[in-house]
Amino acid sequence: EFKDAVRKEKDAVIKIGSGETVTVRVPTHEDGRCIFWEFATDYYDIGFGLYFEWSQVQSNTVTVHVSDSSEEEEEDGEDGS
């Protein structure tokens, strides 16, 4: 039911291929207390993580970055981790 409703909202769907990582940066309000996220998968093959960054945001725009797994490994190696 949820997946059928979301499919109708083309702007609300991000299709992620095998081995890809999607980073969604969501600016928050300083008095905010929670973030709500829904996702769905056809084959139960999903990993999900949430990271919080303390930073001053210049914009209230949500940004999305898609990378394949090799890009993520390169980024992890840059800081020595």
pTM over cut 0.85: no
In this prediction, residue 70 carries a pLDDT of 66
DSSP the chain: -HHHHHHT-GGG-----TTEEEEEE----TT----------SSS-------------S----EEEEEEHHHHHHHHHHTT-
Provide the pLDDT for residue 7: 79
68: pLDDT strictly greater than 80: yes
Specify the pLDDT at position 18.
81
Give pLDDT tens digits for 1-57: 778 887 788 777 778 888 888 888 888 777 878 888 788 888 887 888 888 887 777
Cα 68–17–10 angle (5° rounding)?
120
What pLDDT score does 75 carry?
Answer: 58
In the chain, where are the structural domains located?
A: 2-78
